[in-house]
Amino acid sequence: MWRFILKRLIMLIPVLFGVALIVYFIMDLTPGDPAVIIAGEDATPEQREAIREELGLNDPFIVRYGRYMFNLFRGDMGRSMLSKVDVFPTYFQKLPASLALAFGSIIVALLLSIPLGVLSATHQNTWVDTLCTIIGMLGMSMPNFWLGMMLIIAFSNKLGWFPSGGFDGLKSLILPSITEGVFLLALIMRNTRSSMLDVIRQDYIVTAKAKGVNRRGIIWHHAFRNALIPIITVAGMNFAYVLCGPVLTETVFSWPGVGRLVYDGITKTDTQLVTGCLILSCMFVSVINLVVDIIYAFVDPRIKAQYSK
Amino acid sequence: MEENKVLDEVKEVAEDTAKEVKDAAENAAAEVAEAAEKTAEEIKDTADVPASEQDGKAAPEYVLEIDDLYVEYDTEDALVKAVNGLNLKLRHGETVGLVGETGAGKTTTALSILRLVPDPPGVIKSGSIKVEGQNVMELSEAAMQEIRGNDVAMIFQDPMTALNPVFTVGEQIAETIRLHTDCTKDEADEKAGDMLEVVGIPRARGNEFPHQFSGGMKQRVVIAIALACNPKLLIADEPTTALDVTIQAQVLDIMRGLKDQFNTSMIMITHDLGIVAETCDSVAIIYAGRIVEYGTLVDVFKHTLHPYTEGLFNSLPNIHNRTAKLKPIKGLMCDPSNLPVGCPFADRCNYVTDACKEKLPEQRYVSDTHYVCCTAYDDPNFRLERSKENG
Amino acid sequence: MSKNKETAAVVETEVAKSYKGRSQFREVMHRLRKNKGAMVGLFVFAVIIIIALLGDVLFDYETDVIGNNIVDRLQSPNANHWFGTDEMGRDLFARVLYGARYSLAIGFVSTLVSLGIGLVLGSIAGYKGGWVENVIMRITDIFYSLPSILLAIAVVSALGNSMLNLMIAVGVSNAAAFCRVTRASVLTERGKDYVEAARAIGQGEMRIVLKHVIPNSLSPIIVQTTVRVAGAIISAAGLSFLGLGVPLPAPEWGSLLSMGRGYLRDYPYMVIAPGLAIMITVLAVNLFGDGLRDAIDPKLKK
CB C2 to CB B76 under 8 A? no
- Give the residue among B131, B160, B173, B165 at the shortest CA–CA distance from B148: B131
- Chain C partners within 8 Å of B157 (Cβ): 1-2
pLDDT attached to residue A118: 92
Which chains have at least 3 CB atom pairs separated by less than 8 Å from chain A? B, C
Cβ contact B272:B239 at 8 Å: no
SS3 of B124-158: EEEEEEEECCEEHHHCCHHHHHHHECCCEEEECCC
- Local confidence band at B314 (pLDDT 50, 70, 90 cut-offs): confident
DSSP A135-200: HHHHHHHS-HHHHHHHHIIIIIIIS--S-SSS--HHHHHHHHHHHHHHHHHHHHHHHHHHHHHHHH
C268 touches chain A (CB under 8 A): yes
Lowest pLDDT segment from A10-14, B158-162, B387-391: B387-391
- Residues from chain C that touch B161, judged by Cβ atoms under 8 A, are 1
Q: Are A144 and A182 in contact (CB under 8 A)?
A: yes
Whether residue C117 is contained in a domain is answered as yes
**Chains that contact B by 3+ CB pairs under 8 Å?**
A, C
Does C283 lie at the interface with A, CB-CB under 8 angstroms?
A: yes
Minimal C-alpha gap between C223 and chain B (Å): 24
pLDDT digits (tens, 9 = 90+) for B2-15: 445 544 554 555 45
For residue A86, give the DSSP letter: B
- Closest residue of C to A14, CA-based? C138
CB A193 within 8 Å of CB A117: yes
User: What mean pLDDT is predicted for residues B350-363?
Assistant: 83
pLDDT tens digits, residue range B211-246?
A: 899 888 888 899 889 888 888 888 988 888 777 777
| Geometric angle at alpha carbon C67, from C66 and C73, rounded to 5° | 100
**B:C CB pairs within 8 Å:** 14
Return the SS3 of A79.
Answer: strand
Q: Which neighbouring-strand residues pair with B273?
A: none
pLDDT in tens, C222-241: 888 888 888 888 888 888 88
Residues C179 and C136 sit within 8 Å (Cβ to Cβ): yes
Q: Is C4 on the interface with A (CB under 8 A)?
A: no
Q: Which pairing describes strands B363-367 and B370-373: parallel, antiparallel, or unpaired?
A: antiparallel
Cα–Cα distance for residue pair B66/B128, rounded to 1 Å:
6
Whether residue C23 is contained in a domain is answered as no
A123 shares contact with chain B (CB less than 8 Å): no
Residue A58 maps to a domain:
no
* Residue A116: predicted pLDDT: 92
For residue A225, the domain's CATH number is 1.10.3720.10
Q: Compute the mean pLDDT over every residue in chain B, rounded to the nearest whole number.
A: 79
Closest among B372, B348, B210 to B294, alpha carbons compared: B372
pLDDT attached to residue C113: 92
Between B76, B102, B242, which is nearest C3 by CB?
B242
Residues of C in contact with A19 (CB under 8 A): 142, 145-146
A126 touches chain B (CB under 8 A): no
Residue A132 lies in a domain: yes
Partners of residue B241 in chain C, C-beta under 8 Å:
2, 4
Cα C175 from Cα C167, distance rounded (Å): 12
Residue C11 within any structural domain of the chain: no
Question: Cβ of A208 under 8 Å from any chain B Cβ?
Answer: yes
In chain C, residues with a C-beta closer than 8 Å to the C-beta of A140 are 230, 282, 286
Q: Is A290 on the interface with C (CB under 8 A)?
A: no
- Residues 6 or more apart whose CB falls under 8 angstroms from that of A260 comprise A94, A247, A250, A251
Is B190 at the interface with chain C, CB within 8 A?
A: no
Q: Does residue B387 have a pLDDT over 80?
A: no
Task: Classify residue A77: in a domain, yes or no.
Answer: no
Count of domains observed in chain A = 1
Does residue B29 contact residue B58 with C-beta atoms inside 8 Å? Answer: no
Report C:2-21 residues touching B (Cβ under 8 A): 2-5
The strands making up B134-135's β-sheet, listed across from edge to edge, are B79-91, B62-74, B122-131, B134-135
Note whether C237 contacts A143, CB cutoff 8 Å: yes
Q: What is the pLDDT of residues B91-137, one digit of tens each?
A: 888 899 999 888 788 888 888 988 888 877 888 888 888 888 888 88
Distance, CA of A85 to CA of B318 (rounded, Å): 90
Distances (CA, A) of C176 to B230, B382, C130, C148, C221: 56, 74, 19, 10, 13
- Give the 3-state secondary structure of chain C: CCHHHHHHHHHHHHHHHHHHCCHHHHHHHHHHHHCHHHHHHHHHHHHHHHHHHHHHHHCCHHHHHCCCCHHHCCCCCCCCCCCCECCCCCEHHHHHHHHHHHHHHHHHHHHHHHHHHHHHHHHHHHHHCHHHHHHHHHHHHHHHHCCHHHHHHHHHHHHCCCHHHHHHHHHHHHHHHHHHHHHHHHHHHHCCHHHHHHHHCCCCHHHHHHHHHHHHHHHHHHHHHHHHHHHHHHHHHHHHHCCCCCCCCCCCHHHHHHHHHCCCCCCCHHHHHHHHHHHHHHHHHHHHHHHHHHHHCHHHCC
pLDDT tens, position by position, C256-295 = 888 877 777 777 777 888 888 889 999 999 888 888 888 8
* Three-state DSSP class for residue A122: helix
Confirm or reject contact between C57 and chain A (CB < 8 A): no
What is the least distance, in Å, from the CA of A116 to any CA of chain B? 21
What lies within 8 Å, CB to CB, of C104 at 6+ separation is C48, C49, C52, C233, C281
CA distance A267 to A275: 13
Average pLDDT of the segment spanning B16-28:
51
| Residue B340 near residue B346 (C-beta atoms within 8 A) | yes
Measured CA to CA, the distance from residue A287 to residue A281 in angstroms comes to 10
Coil, strand or helix: which one is A212?
Answer: coil
Inter-chain contact C158–A145, Cβ cutoff 8 Å?
Answer: no
pLDDT attached to residue A92: 86
- Whether B145 sits inside 8 A of A212 (CB atoms) is yes
Confidence bin at C298 (pLDDT 50/70/90)? low
Question: C1–B157: do the CB atoms touch at under 8 Å?
Answer: yes
Q: Is the pLDDT of residue A169 over 50?
A: yes
Verify whether the Cβ–Cβ distance A215 to B141 is below 8 Å.
yes
Distance from CA of C30 to the nearest CA of A (A): 20
CB A228 within 8 A of CB A118: no
Asked if residue A159 has pLDDT above 80, the reply is yes
Q: Does any domain span residue C26?
A: no
pLDDT value at B139 more than 80: yes
Is C114 inside a domain boundary?
Answer: yes
Q: Within a domain: residue A150?
A: yes
Structure confidence at residue C65 (pLDDT)? 65
Residue B173 has pLDDT above 50, yes or no: yes
Q: Is C275 in Cβ contact with A150 (below 8 Å)? A: yes
Contact C150 A194 (CB under 8 A): no
pLDDT at C81: 67
Q: How confident is the model at residue B16 (pLDDT cuts 50, 70, 90)?
A: low
Residue B60 has pLDDT above 60, yes or no: no
Mutation to test the C interface, candidates A23, A120, A134, A146, most C Cβ within 10 Å: A146
| pLDDT at residue B284, rounded to an integer | 92
| C181, part of any domain | yes
Please report residues of C whose CB lies closer than 8 A to that of A159.
none
Verify whether the Cβ–Cβ distance A212 to B222 is below 8 Å.
no
8 Å CB contact between C288 and C42: yes
Q: For residue A103, is it within any domain?
A: yes
Number of domains in chain C: 1
Give C4→chain B minimum CA distance, Å.
Answer: 9
Q: Mind listing the pLDDT tens digit for each residue in B236-289? A: 888 887 777 777 888 888 888 878 887 888 999 988 888 888 888 899 999 888
The pLDDT-based confidence of A30 (bands split at 50, 70, 90) is confident
One-letter identity of residue A154: A
How many Å apart are CA B107 and CA B238, to the nearest integer?
Answer: 9
- Of the candidates A204, A215, A299, which has its C-beta nearest B164's C-beta? A204
In a domain, C237, yes or no: yes
Residue B356 contacts residue B346 (beta carbons within 8 Å): yes
The residue among A124 and B6 whose pLDDT is bigger is: A124
- For residue A17, tell me if it sits in a domain: no
What would the pLDDT profile of A253-298 be if each residue is shown by its tens digit?
888 888 888 888 888 878 888 888 888 888 888 888 888 888 888 8
Q: Which CATH number characterizes residue C111's domain?
A: 1.10.3720.10
Asked if the Cβ–Cβ distance from B211 to A302 is below 8 Å, we say yes
pLDDT at B200: 83
Cα separation, C235 vs C250, in Å, equals 17
Domain span at residue A297? Answer: 89-307
Give the distance from CA B318 to its chain's centroid: 26
Tell me phi and psi for residue B91, to 5 degrees. -85, 165
Amino acid code (one letter) for C178 = F
Instruction: Answer whether residue B58 shows pLDDT above 70.
Output: no
- What pLDDT is stored for residue B283 in this prediction? 92
Local structure of A269: helix, strand or coil: coil
Is residue B163 scored above 70 in pLDDT? yes
Flag if C3 and B158 touch (Cβ within 8 Å). yes
Partner-chain residue, chosen from A207, A212, A305, that has the shortest CB–CB distance to B162 = A207
B179 to chain A: which residues are within 8 Å by CB? 211-213
pLDDT at B3: 47
8 Å CB contact of B102 and C4: yes
> What's the pLDDT at A86?
82
For residue C63, the model assigns a pLDDT of: 66
Report residue C155's pLDDT band, with 50, 70 and 90 as the boundaries. Answer: confident
> Which of C234, C242, C261 has its CB closest to that of A143?
C234
pLDDT of residue B52: 43
- pLDDT in the model for residue A29: 79
Domain that holds residue C217: 55-65+79-300
In a domain, A84, yes or no: no
* Paired strand residues for B363: B373
| Average pLDDT score, chain A | 84
Touching subunits of C (3+ CB pairs, under 8 Å) are A, B
Checking if the pLDDT of A99 tops 50, the result is yes
Residue C3 with chain B: CB contacts under 8 Å? 158, 242
Q: What is the pLDDT of residue A115?
A: 92
Is the per-residue pLDDT at B55 higher than 50? no
Cα B37 from chain centre: 28
pLDDT of A43 strictly over 60: yes
8 Å CB contact between A266 and A274 = yes
d(CA B110, CA B235): 7
Closest CA to B142 of B179, B185, B183: B179
A101 part of contact set with chain C, CB < 8 Å: no
